[in-house]
Amino acid sequence: MKASEDAAAPSLRFHCSSELHARALALLDRVERAEDAAAHRDEVAELVVQLTEAGLDDYFMKPLDRTRPGFVIRQSANVGMAGARQVMGSVLRRIIGHMDGPQIHSVCASIRDLMR
């Protein structure tokens, strides 16, 4: 999909804490001004992990909580989500950890687009 098609396409956004939003904006600003964006890959990877976790919480755990599930269901969801977060976090950190400067800039541009 082209960037212009992307902008016109329907989308779903999620909520995150004000603190995470502020940290994300500060990091994006730092990376955009950096001489070597690749020097910030670990920070960008950690941000992507945190945003992914916030999205999972907003899209799945909060709606689940609104259904008032029983203890066993809630604990099963917690265990499953903990495993998913661990695997995704590891994969995201590994992939972003190998990116070069232009790739890091691209990831940051995508995050900034999602924040609009």
Amino acid at site 75: Q
Does residue 52 belong to any structural domain of this protein? Answer: yes
User: What's the pTM?
Assistant: 0.87
CA 78 to chain centre: 19
* Range(s) of the domain holding residue 97: 16-115
Let me know if residue 101 belongs to a domain: yes
For position 37, what pLDDT does the model report? 96
Entry field: residues in the chain: 116
Over 90: is that where the pLDDT of 99 sits? yes
| Any domain includes 63 | yes
- Rounded mean pLDDT of 61-81? 96
pLDDT of residue 21: 97
Is residue 114 predicted with pLDDT exceeding 70?
Answer: yes
Q: Who contacts 30 (Cβ-Cβ below 8 Å, separation ≥6)?
A: 40
Residue 5 lies in a domain: no
In a domain, 32, yes or no: yes
Number of domains comprising the chain: 1
Q: Let me know if residue 24 belongs to a domain.
A: yes
Q: Does residue 9 lie within any of the structural domains?
A: no
**Does residue 1 form part of some domain?**
no
